[in-house]
Amino acid sequence: MDRYSLKMRAGKKVHEQDQHISGAEKIVLKEQISSFSEALIERGLHHSKGDADFLNIKIEKIKEEDILYLEALPVTTVTTKSWKEGQEEVIKFLKDLNIQRIEEVMHYMEETYSMRGAMLLDITTMKRVEPDFSRGIRATYMDREREQSSVLMDTKNHYEEAIVLATKVIHCPGIIGEICISDDPDYVTGYVSSKQHGYRRITTMKEMGSDNGGRIFLFDSTKTCVEDAIKYLQKQCVIVRGIEKLQRQAPKNRWERLEKKINSLQQQHLFRTMKTITSAQGSHITVDGKELILMASNSYLDLTAHPYIKKRCHEILDLYGFGSGGSRLTTGNTVLHERLERKIADFKDCKEAIVFNTGYVANVAVISSMMDKEGVIFSDELNHASIIDGCRLSKAKCVIYRHNDMTDLEKKIRENPCENGLVVSDAVFSMDGDILNLPAFMDICQRYNLFSMVDEAHSTGVIGETGHGIVEYFGKAYMPDILMGTLSKSVGSEGGYVAGSKLLIEYLRNTARGFIFSTSLSPVTIAADLAGIELIEQEPERVKRLQDNVKFFCERLAAYDIHVTSSTAIIPIVTGDEKRALALSDYLYDHGFYISAIRYPTVRRGQARLRVALMATHTRDELEKAAQLIGTFE
Ligand SMILES: *Cc1c(COP(=O)(O)O)cnc(C)c1O
């Protein structure tokens, strides 16, 4: 029975150059061609390294007599606790194979990290023998055996693909062994293989988070000539039979995986600790008995301990006690809750509003209730984690566009036509402090008839002349369909909300699970929310003072040759390096300033930063001192 080779290769255009993102191949029967091609196209188009700009599918007929059938290598697993132990396993393997210059082989491994293919290393001369050192050598024309009736779309089983490859390679004339480490930063398992060892998985072969991966084919030139080996690797069609299912052994210690993760975070300077505050949140706080100037809080207007808010909370506490006793749809709906929703709707110039327990819940609940698996969500690459989680929960297709790049957004929309679509963005980006281009954003949403959703967590109380947020900032000319926000930042309290049309809010009250299935906020919290918004309305000079502080601080930083611009309360000072961000934050702490270092995964790797968050109540002296400390840090 004739078979067909299917090969997919997907790439991106980077500076006019074709760059590889992913590739895969199959050997299938005639009737399987179209379904497998489709699955390969899907796989190529959506890769974690990014969406493809172009994709090639090559289909070739293969004669039955040209196929070599091989039995899969037997699989064993060696559990190693650290990458050092993993390396020792590799050394043991090389000793078993009687390789003399083990150090040199280990050294060569590093050279393979940037290569797409494998290194063909002649172990008798310790020289590389593949024709192209920058690409390496790739084995192709191989697959596992599959039943004719197989409709199972097994197009992405990395374990089986690895065994197919290892089995083909080990049967290559002259090759006596292989060493392989994945380049996936989150995948630390690798393998070694040979005829005598079979396929030996080594559970930890590199540091978590490292994208250093590669492979070496160990070649003995006294047994065969290089050309024959390469011809076999690149041309011989191989089908592998009898792949064992991966036996996942029951672990001896179920906590081990957690310990490993913690250790790896510590090694990468990504381990989190908490500082314990023993005072109210304000521009001055006490941490472990030490007084500090706080420039890291989201309480931009410094309202959390405002006397008016405290007074209102005391009054409501006396009247209502604390808990609300049920969800809003059962017994947890007080007159205060309704008053707050009215207040938010008016503040945001919308018809109605709905309150959730936190901003996080609001995003997750709204997005998952607006979208389903037929929908498409277009989301800025720097959107807040709660938006990302909402997208995940909705099961809609999520298309990420470049940060605040409206040309890219429109391109992605054209590429992904849909009946039910939503475009979502932070109004002010939480780690960069820049503002969404709302006019262009709204224009695109309207032209393509997509829902527009904006998260105002960092814009309410901060931007717009009187702190009403992004709509005011852009002259009240554009109104998104869904205005989401939180009361936990400049309002100084707790709670999330959505403001919009009557239809939208009615729909959310009836379908948003985060609203329906959670006990509503305490009346006391609601009292604080109300009082906070009232203060912003009655005393807009607070907003003005915050805006002036930001301007002054950026000017003072510029005097030390640190050039950042911000029209919000967030001023990022990017150090890039994780360690340096932490050192700077520690240095400031020792000098009496609490300013957080922000690291992966909150921001991208290599984008670590100091995130200065100013308050309306910081004094000029405090701002000057902070700028000076940052500006003179070595
Ligand atoms: C803080 C934040 C949220 C979550 O709000 P909480 O009330 O703290 O849960 C949502 N979106 C953005 C952009 C945020 O910064």
Ligand 1 centroid distance, CA of 596 (Å): 17
Ligand 1 centroid distance, CA of 363 (Å): 8
Residue 378 has pLDDT above 90, yes or no: yes
In angstroms, rounded to a whole number, what is the distance separating the alpha carbons of residues 406 and 501? 25
Ligand 1 pocket test, pick from 462, 489, 494, 611 with the greatest ligand atom count within 8 Å of Cβ, gives: 489
* Contact predicate 372/421, CB 8 Å: no
Burial class (CB in 10 A: 0-12, 13-18, 19+), 496: buried
* Contact predicate 442/453, CB 8 Å: no
Residue 453 has pLDDT above 80, yes or no: yes
* Contact predicate 627/571, CB 8 Å: no
What are the residue boundaries of the structural domains of the chain, listed by start?
Answer: 3-62, 72-241, 269-298+541-632, 307-538
Q: Residue 267's pLDDT is what?
A: 81
Atom of ligand 1 at shortest range from CA of 386: 10
- Select which of 458, 459, 468, 490 is catalytic: 458
> Which of residues 167 and 43 earns the better pLDDT score?
167
Which protein residues touch ligand 1 with a CB less than 6 Å away?
Answer: 358-360, 363, 384, 386, 426, 430, 455, 457-458, 486, 488, 496
Instruction: Tell me the two tokens of residue 228.
Output: 């024959």
In angstroms, rounded to a whole number, what is the distance separating the alpha carbons of residues 17 and 8? 19
Shortest-distance Cα residue to atom 1 of ligand 1: 457
Shortest-distance Cα residue to atom 14 of ligand 1: 457
∠ Cα 436 610 287 (to 5°): 120
Q: What is the mean pLDDT of the chain?
A: 93
* Contact predicate 305/299, CB 8 Å: no
* Contact predicate 6/32, CB 8 Å: no
The residue count for the chain? 634
- Select which of 264, 430, 488, 522 is catalytic: 430
Terminal-residue alpha carbon distance, the chain: 71
Q: Residue 249's pLDDT is what?
A: 64
Ligand 1 centroid distance, CA of 387 (Å): 9
Residue 216 has pLDDT above 70, yes or no: yes
Q: Residue 153's pLDDT is what?
A: 53
Tens digit of each residue's pLDDT (9 = 90 or more) over 260-270:
889 888 887 78
Ligand 1 pocket test, pick from 297, 304, 386 with the greatest ligand atom count within 8 Å of Cβ, gives: 386
> Which of residues 82 and 59 earns the better pLDDT score?
59
Ligand 1 centroid distance, CA of 256 (Å): 33
Model pTM above 0.75: no
In angstroms, rounded to a whole number, what is the distance separating the alpha carbons of residues 29 and 40? 15
Q: Residue 176's pLDDT is what?
A: 96
Specify the range with the lowest mean pLDDT, choosing from 183-187, 344-348, 391-395, 446-450. 183-187
- Indicate if 476 belongs to the active site: no
Specify the range with the lowest mean pLDDT, choosing from 194-208, 425-439, 463-477. 194-208
Atom of ligand 1 at shortest range from CA of 487: 7
- Select which of 26, 384, 468, 489 is catalytic: 489
Tell me the mean pLDDT in the region 477-491: 98
Right CATH number for 269-298+541-632 from 3.20.20.450, 3.40.50.300, 3.90.1150.10, 3.40.50.1820? Answer: 3.90.1150.10
Ligand 1 pocket test, pick from 297, 304, 355, 384 with the greatest ligand atom count within 8 Å of Cβ, gives: 384
Residue 48 has pLDDT above 80, yes or no: no
Tens digit of each residue's pLDDT (9 = 90 or more) over 237-280:
999 998 887 666 666 788 888 988 898 888 877 888 888 999 99
- Indicate if 260 belongs to the active site: no
Shortest-distance Cα residue to atom 7 of ligand 1: 359
Q: Residue 342's pLDDT is what?
A: 98
Ligand 1 centroid distance, CA of 538 (Å): 25
Handedness of CA 203, 206, 209, 212 (dihedral sign): negative
In angstroms, rounded to a whole number, what is the distance separating the alpha carbons of residues 626 and 595? 9
Right CATH number for 307-538 from 3.30.930.10, 3.40.50.1010, 3.40.50.10860, 3.40.640.10? Answer: 3.40.640.10
Enumerate the β-bridge partners of residue 50.
47
Structural element, H or E, at residue 539: none
Q: Residue 22's pLDDT is what?
A: 84
Specify the range with the lowest mean pLDDT, choosing from 108-122, 146-160, 183-197, 465-479. 146-160
* Contact predicate 458/428, CB 8 Å: yes
Ligand 1 centroid distance, CA of 434 (Å): 16
How would you list the strands of the sheet with 75-78, edge to edge? 75-78, 198-202, 190-194, 175-181, 214-219, 119-122, 127-128
Ligand 1 pocket test, pick from 298, 356, 358, 360 with the greatest ligand atom count within 8 Å of Cβ, gives: 360
- Indicate if 269 belongs to the active site: no
Ligand 1 centroid distance, CA of 457 (Å): 6
> Which of residues 465 and 39 earns the better pLDDT score?
465
